[in-house]
Structure 1
Amino acid sequence: MSTPSELKSPCVTRNGMVKLPPSQPNGLGSASITKGTPAAKNRLSASLLGSDLEPGKPHLGLKPSLRQLPPLTLPKPILLEPEKCVLAQVCKTWRKVLYQPKFWEGVTPILHAKELYTMLPNGEKEFVSLQAFALRGFQSFCLVGVSDLDICEFIDNYPLSKKGVRSVSLKRSTITDAGLEVMLEQMQGLMHLELSGCNDFTEAGLWSSLNARLTSLSVSDCINVADDAIAAISQLLPNLSELSLQAYHVTDTAMAYFTAKQGYTTHTLRLHSCWEITNHGVVNMVHSLPNLTALSLSGCSKITDDGVELVAENLRKLRSLDLSWCPRITDMALEYIACDLHKLEELVLDRCVRITDTGLGYLSTMSSLRSLYLRWCCQVQDFGLQHLFGMRSLRLLSLAGCPLLTTTGLSGLIQLQELEELELTNCPGATAELFKYYSQHLPHCMVIE
């Protein structure tokens, strides 16, 4: 066991990520590692290694009996990512145990371009060692601010890049058509690709590089993406199961490009701030992708109640629907949803400013609805809230920013005894007395103030 003076400085947790100390030899500089939602990341376990750990003492002062702890008896569910990074620095034996790939499943390292190189005495740059990442078997990476050369260096230096990497996210990067083509050609195991804030590749680059093995694609805030990009996606990705698209210049025409094969395989479509898409685009979409189970039209501001009616009548398998930031949606759309989408479990109506108490009355008949988001629905009042009191299936309810709700109306939510999460941020009716009342009558519900 190493002495305390020989140990590295502990990891610093910030915003749900883990920052590795720059001098650490078994990690990449100050690379971040993230997993799950922020709420999940910030919930610390009651203990690190079970009841044998003395309360009130750091993990460095372990009892002698724990020093001979058999490696495989470390309980996987207990340790969170920040704790694994700290404990891996105790000694070589602990590092060997905690570097087993099974402890890092689902974790994504975030690598910034400036952290990928070290300066040599002669002034030249050398790509850092990624061996520690290979030992942990990481299959997913997020690369930030990288260029074509950085991606080539990553592929050459990460032993698992050719066959073992399944998911890559490129953010705010200068990747060009050539870099995109090399990456998808070399990384033969890649199935999930995200491109965010990458403005140097073109639609021609997508035509030349997209590979049929991709099953999930996300493109956002990339200025060169329009209808031709959707044409490339539809023709080159027959096995696509999930598509997320945030593009200002995609039109209704693009929604008709999807093939019959994709109509069978694609279950998730997220359209964010696609301002040019109208109800005509919805017509094309529901006929091209009839098997969707999750649909987002967030920020598609030209969609009206008629478009929602088309969705409700044709996409009966939907379990999640996001209509946030659709200002033309009214209570009539909620009536269509309540009548036809009997399997719907999640409904997002944030910033749908025309929604009133009448619309909530329609939603109250939905027995399968588990999550309902009504953030900044400025016309919702106490009377409308009463419609929700009988929805025993609700597990998550967000009323953040609803200005007309009073303490009296909100206090009635204690009737939802199965509620697990309640969001009341920026809600004037949410007082300190109300939160105390919730703590007594909704003890199992996490109330977000």
Structure 2
Amino acid sequence: MNLLTKMKKPKQTHVPSTNYFDLLSEEIVFSILDFLDDNPLDKKSFSLVCKSFYTTESLHRRALKPLRSEHLTKILHRYPCITNLDLSLCPRIDDSSLTVISNVCKNMLRSIDLSRTKFFTHVGLSNLVLNCVNLVDIDLSNATELKDPAAAAIAEAKNLERLWLRRCKAITDIGIGCVAVGCKKLRLISLKWCLGIGDLGVGLIAVKCKEIRSLDLSYLPLYVKLWTEDLVTYAGLVITMPAVGLEITKNCLLPILELQYLEDLFLEGCFGIDDDSLAALKKGCKSLETLDMSSCQNVSHVGLSSLTSDTACLRQLILAYGSPVTLALADSLQKLSMLQSIKLDGCLVTCPGLKAIGNWCISLRELSLSKCLGVTDEGLSSLVTKHKDLRKLDVTCCRKITHVSIAHITNLCTSLTSLRMESCTLVSRESFVLIGQRCQCLEELDLTDNEIDDEGLKSISRCSKLSNLKLGICLNITDGGLAHIGLCCSQLIELDLYRSAGIMDTGILAIARGCPGLEMVNIAYCTEITDHSLMSLSRCSKLNTLETRGCPLITSLGLAAIAVGCKQLAKLDTKKCYNIDDAGMIPLAHFSQNLRQINLSYSSVTDVGLLSLASISCLQSMTILHLKGLTPSGLAAALLACVGLTKVKLQESFKSLLPRLLFEHLEARGCVFQWRDKVFQIIEMALRSTFYYLQAEVDPIFWKLQLEDVE
């Protein structure tokens, strides 16, 4: 026998392996997980390592945004420490769902978002607020079917601090009165577009909720139809309201302005507010920081003169689509010594008015003149001469300004972080060179529909902090200029090249190489783009929004590369990409499990490709117009299989080809259908175009592009 076999093997001693994570406290591990918040897939990977990690991640999670109401029980039991629950992606939340939440979450739940859900009533809300007594945030926006009993149920949430009721059109003064009496800790309430609420309800909020910091009364009605006598039960009492008319006027403004802690007041579109109403401001509202009176057509410089120096904290004033900006209006605001931001979008602006704003002794940080008729070089140059500390400037569609304005802006406002100048068509090419040379702190730059060329892009590439760059309809730029952006602007997150026809694959390759953090790319109607561009962009793993409509050279091969490389893709528009077919849908179905919105109109996708998308559990919105390979039976099968759909755009012709029971079933699941008739849309667009021609200066090319994009 071999000598080696006779030798006795040494005795092996077992050394137990050490899990060093067991030596860390729960707080330290939670701190580590906090660093993974940017990408939810990282946390999922962490939880799949072992049972210990699975348990730790379950206990760490505080916020949840589920896609399916039917999975709520399982999910909530897995994550027992949830404090913030966002149900805006669940189309169907009914009373039983709210009962499950209230029974599982109980005292832990502090915030719930029901802003995009349906089918629940005051019964479910009552269970929720009675069991989840620590709720401080409730968002019920867009719950158009909720009535006063629902508001009365919310009134039982005694610790509520923030309540959003935007577009809850059926709630009246009765219901909001219940909220005012029951929720005395409210700090924020939004009643925007609550057409049933008038002076009485708003006045009750102001009188009863003394802790209010933010109040949104935008588009509350000036006049509405009388409503009949109504009643609601609250705290065992039957409250009856006689038939009256509604109006938001100065009667409720006085108690609002007496709120000791009020910081933000939004009165956009409140036509009942006039100069007499604002007289209450003369008494001062010393805590007010933001005041929005956009589209308040009955307010002039006389009323605004009530904004005296006693309104000491006012930092942001929004007067968009209101009175003309004249010398008198500017003079009426000069006492606002703390003002940092003023937005005058859509107003008629005079040169003396702009000059007067320039003479204010304060130093503005933000100025918005978007779509303001009357902005000239003289007025704008005079204004920026005095306000050199501007950080944000918006001169979108100020079509009269030229190189003179840009020279003044770039020479004086060198600390700009945001410059929006879409459709400033008289600005010459050399102006954009100045932007790059002098304003290198820019993070956002909108140059849509301008004369910028490659020299301008080369100069702008010096702005190394750029994160958002819009170059749509810039017909003079090419790959050479875009290459400079890719080389120097590594922090770029959003890039818009809509209809910039000179951009080809080489430019996109440079962007993809130099800007790996890209999240949004729009190359719609860049007709020379091919699959090579999509293959380049597939390296950008954070890409979540991609618009390629009108790129006829793109095929399913390029789309497959995006699906494999960009797993966070959530929004995809391939309209008029005629060579994308079923072969592109299969990789999407396999790899793009975060896809929520897709437009396949005018592509070559058939029943097979559409049905394959059913495996994407996140998919909620589909636009599938003019698909020649789509049959009624295939469409019906796909719609039934895509169980998470909340919105579908279809041709009007399919309405008569599919059974009514199918639509009723899908609508019961929470899906909304939008029907499109191309002929009708073209007529509608033509009428709208005529209207705008009569109202303001409009670029004819704009309407040409709109007609080309009709679905």
Q: Shift of residue 425 of structure 1?
A: 4.5
Aligned to 1:422: 622
Aligned to 1:236: 438
Secondary structure (helix, strand or coil) at the match of 2:597 reads strand
**2:318 & 2:545 partners in 1: Cα distance?**
29
Q: Shift of residue 95 of structure 1?
A: 4.8
Aligned to 2:391: 191
Q: Note the residue ranges of structure 2 that are not aligned, 5 or more in a row.
A: 1-115, 118-138, 157-167, 216-255, 257-261, 267-288, 343-365, 650-711
Aligned to 2:499: 299
Q: Shift of residue 277 of structure 1?
A: 0.4
Match of 2:584 among 351, 366, 384: 384
Contact 1:141 1:169 in 2 (8 A): no
Contact 1:234 1:257 in 2 (8 A): yes
**1:371 & 1:57 partners in 2: Cα distance?**
33
**1:422 & 1:296 partners in 2: Cα distance?**
22
Equivalent positions of 1:245-264 (< 5 A) are 245-258=447-460, 260=462, 262-263=463-464
The CA deviation string for residues 263-283 of structure 1, in whole angstroms up to 9 with x for no partner, is: 1x2211111111010111112
Aligned to 2:404: 204
Match of 1:92 among 179, 203, 216: 203
**2:486 & 2:391 partners in 1: Cα distance?**
25
Contact 2:568 2:592 in 1 (8 A): no
**1:429 & 1:145 partners in 2: Cα distance?**
50
**2:528 & 2:506 partners in 1: Cα distance?**
10
**2:607 & 2:142 partners in 1: Cα distance?**
29
The one-letter amino acid of 2:193's match is P
Match of 2:536 among 325, 336, 339: 336
Q: CA 1:288–1:63 in 2, change beyond 3 Å: closer, same or farther? A: closer
Under a length normalisation based on structure 2, what TM-score does the superposition of the two structures give?
0.49
Match of 2:557 among 340, 344, 358: 358
Q: Shift of residue 164 of structure 1?
A: 4.5
**2:204 & 2:454 partners in 1: Cα distance?**
59
Aligned to 2:676: none
Q: Shift of residue 378 of structure 1?
A: 1.9
**2:436 & 2:594 partners in 1: Cα distance?**
37
**2:199 & 2:312 partners in 1: Cα distance?**
13
**1:220 & 1:237 partners in 2: Cα distance?**
17
Q: CA 1:145–1:110 in 2, change beyond 3 Å: closer, same or farther? A: closer
Aligned to 2:153: 51
Q: CA 1:256–1:433 in 2, change beyond 3 Å: closer, same or farther? A: same
| 1:83 maps to 2:160 | no
Aligned to 1:395: 595
**2:551 & 2:328 partners in 1: Cα distance?**
41
The one-letter amino acid of 1:230's match is F
Aligned to 1:346: 545
Aligned to 2:175: 62
The one-letter amino acid of 2:556's match is D
Secondary structure (helix, strand or coil) at the match of 1:398 reads strand
Contact 2:169 2:195 in 1 (8 A): no
Q: Which deviates more from structure 2 when the two are superposed, residues 222-231 or residues 42-51? A: 42-51
Contact 1:163 1:189 in 2 (8 A): no
Secondary structure (helix, strand or coil) at the match of 2:432 reads helix
The one-letter amino acid of 1:242's match is E
Q: CA 1:56–1:256 in 2, change beyond 3 Å: closer, same or farther? A: closer
Q: Shift of residue 359 of structure 1?
A: 1.7
The one-letter amino acid of 1:43's match is N
The one-letter amino acid of 2:442's match is L
The CA deviation string for residues 209-250 of structure 1, in whole angstroms up to 9 with x for no partner, is: 341342111111111123222123223323211101123421
Q: CA 1:71–1:43 in 2, change beyond 3 Å: closer, same or farther? A: same
Contact 1:349 1:373 in 2 (8 A): yes
Q: Shift of residue 51 of structure 1?
A: 1.9
**1:396 & 1:331 partners in 2: Cα distance?**
23
The one-letter amino acid of 2:397's match is G
Match of 2:606 among 378, 396, 406: 406
Match of 2:340 among 125, 148, 163: 163
Q: Shift of residue 70 of structure 1?
A: 4.7
| 1:129 maps to 2:242 | no
Match of 1:214 among 404, 410, 416: 416
The CA deviation string for residues 106-162 of structure 1, in whole angstroms up to 9 with x for no partner, is: 9976449xx3765xxxxxxx5543869x89968364745987637962872694783
The one-letter amino acid of 1:129's match is L
**2:626 & 2:387 partners in 1: Cα distance?**
46
Q: Which deviates more from structure 2 when the two are superposed, residues 419-428 or residues 238-247? A: 419-428
**2:380 & 2:180 partners in 1: Cα distance?**
48
**2:336 & 2:405 partners in 1: Cα distance?**
26
Q: Shift of residue 385 of structure 1?
A: 1.8
The CA deviation string for residues 376-397 of structure 1, in whole angstroms up to 9 with x for no partner, is: 2122222322221112443333
**1:87 & 1:212 partners in 2: Cα distance?**
47
Q: Note the residue ranges of structure 1 that are not aligned, 5 or more in a row.
A: 1-37, 119-125
Greater Rg by CA: 2
**Identity over aligned pairs, percent:** 17
**2:382 & 2:329 partners in 1: Cα distance?**
8
Secondary structure (helix, strand or coil) at the match of 1:170 reads coil
| 1:223 maps to 2:425 | yes
**2:263 & 2:458 partners in 1: Cα distance?**
42
**1:181 & 1:84 partners in 2: Cα distance?**
43
**2:204 & 2:625 partners in 1: Cα distance?**
46
Aligned to 1:447: 647
Q: Shift of residue 323 of structure 1?
A: 1.0
Contact 1:152 1:183 in 2 (8 A): no
The one-letter amino acid of 1:51's match is A
Q: Shift of residue 284 of structure 1?
A: 2.4
Secondary structure (helix, strand or coil) at the match of 2:612 reads helix
Q: Shift of residue 43 of structure 1?
A: 3.2
Equivalent positions of 1:92-111 (< 5 A) are 92-95=203-206, 97=212, 98=215, 100-102=262-264, 110-111=294-295
Contact 1:181 1:205 in 2 (8 A): yes
The one-letter amino acid of 1:345's match is N
Equivalent positions of 1:431-442 (< 5 A) are 440-442=640-642
Q: CA 1:259–1:331 in 2, change beyond 3 Å: closer, same or farther? A: closer
**2:336 & 2:619 partners in 1: Cα distance?**
46
Q: CA 1:407–1:109 in 2, change beyond 3 Å: closer, same or farther? A: farther
Aligned to 2:346: none
**1:41 & 1:250 partners in 2: Cα distance?**
45
Contact 2:461 2:485 in 1 (8 A): no
The one-letter amino acid of 1:356's match is T
**1:155 & 1:398 partners in 2: Cα distance?**
50
The one-letter amino acid of 1:350's match is R
Q: CA 1:389–1:67 in 2, change beyond 3 Å: closer, same or farther? A: closer
Under a length normalisation based on structure 1, what TM-score does the superposition of the two structures give?
0.74
